[in-house]
Amino acid sequence: MKIMTLKGAAAYLNMNAEVLRRQAQKGDIPARKLGTGSRSPWRFIQEELDEYMKGNDVQALAEPEAHSVLEKLIREYKTAGSEDKEVMALNRIGRLQKSEAVPFLCEILLNNESSINQIFWSIRAIVEILGKEASRYLQIFRDHADDWIRMEVAIFYALEFGDKPAIAALEEQFEKTGSFLVLQVLLQVKTQKYLPHLQQMFSSEVPHNRLLALRSLKDISYPEEEQELARLVLDNDLQVQTEALKLAVKRKHRSLIPQLQLIIAGNYPESVKRMAAGALAESFGEE
């Protein structure tokens, strides 16, 4: 019996998590709540979901719910009363990934009275909904006066199309500011050139820098990463060690087996030992 979280079940059903939560609340999809409070988490059993899907078109059933959620989020944005609440609504609209939201987002982008914050998060939502198709809406923002917006659009063009002017703009921005957000993108489009910056972060005495460097490795891979991971799975900072172990589970490097065995046999928290055991099982399972 496999038990799933809301996020895991949503991915399994190819459904938005907010839509799934509302359907679980109404009893439309088999689910169990851990506790009685409004914030108590939902759990789903995979076998029950499989059985449910045999007799139901999950996507068709979810469609009216998704439309209802979108209308609710647009209302929340319009009545927000603060930029924080507006950002929250725009974020959730993006995650909903409904193309019907695009006209509403375009209204924000084309409104001369929209703030930088409203434009920025509307751009993010459009990108999340449309992917590469967002380019026809974002072209006019490539030379925007605000650095924040201009860099967000440059990041989109660099990652989606390998656009040279966009990459050049990002390189200039990184030279001026040393922005880690920009570095993450440059590592993906010009890995070899910017790898030394990442390696410096791995050697930093500041745990937060090592943590950020590890998170960048989710998007790239390079030969020496095994050496970095071998050291960082034994890091004295719990957050860094945990992030390194998460990556070790995904990468399945057999060279990490001695370090993983050391963790399992050593004086580490049980949660860390479990992660090490998972990474060890993955590395042995790879053929």
Residue 237 is assigned to a structural domain of this protein: no
Secondary structure of 27-70 in the HEC alphabet? CCCCCEECCCCCCCCEEEEHHHHHHHHHHCCHHHHHHHHHHHHH
Task: Report pLDDT for 2.
Answer: 83
Q: Which residue intervals of 79-203 are DSSP H helices?
A: 83-96, 102-110, 116-130, 135-138, 147-161, 164-177, 180-189, 191-202
Tokens linked to 171: 């390189």
Give the per-residue pLDDT at 286. Answer: 44
Instruction: Give the Cα separation of 236 and 286 in Å (integer).
Output: 28
Q: Which long-range contacts (CB under 8 A, 24 or more apart) does 48-52 make?
A: 49/4, 49/9, 49/12, 49/13
- Enumerate the β-bridge partners of residue 242: none
Report the Cα 163 to chain-centroid distance in Å: 23
Asked if residues 250 and 276 have their Cβ atoms less than 8 Å apart, the reply is no
Q: Provide the domain count of the chain.
A: 1
Alpha-carbon distance of 235 to 40, in angstroms, equals 33
Which pLDDT value is given to residue 287?
41
Q: What is the pLDDT of residue 56?
A: 75
Question: Does a structural domain hold residue 261?
Answer: no
Structural domain boundaries, residue 25: 1-56
Determine, yes or no, domain membership for 33.
Answer: yes
Report the predicted TM-score, pTM, of the whole model to 2 decimal places: 0.75
The DSSP symbol for 255 reads: G
Q: How far apart are CA 51 and CA 62, in angstroms?
A: 17
Query: Does residue 239 sit within a domain?
Result: no
Predicted confidence at residue 120, as pLDDT, reads: 96
- In this structure, is residue 179 part of a structural domain? no
pLDDT tens-digit series, residues 158-195? 999 999 999 999 999 999 999 999 999 999 999 999 99
d(CA 77, CA 84): 10
pLDDT tens-digit map of 9-38: 888 888 888 888 888 888 888 998 887 777
Residues of the chain with pLDDT under 70: 57-63, 285-287
Report yes or no on 5 lying in a domain. Answer: yes
Rounded distance, CA 66 to CA 69, Å?
5
pLDDT for res 63 = 66
User: Is residue 97 assigned to a domain?
Assistant: no
Distance CA 50, CA 56 (A): 10
At 25 the pLDDT is 85
| Within-domain flag for 45 | yes
CATH no. for residue 31? 1.10.1660
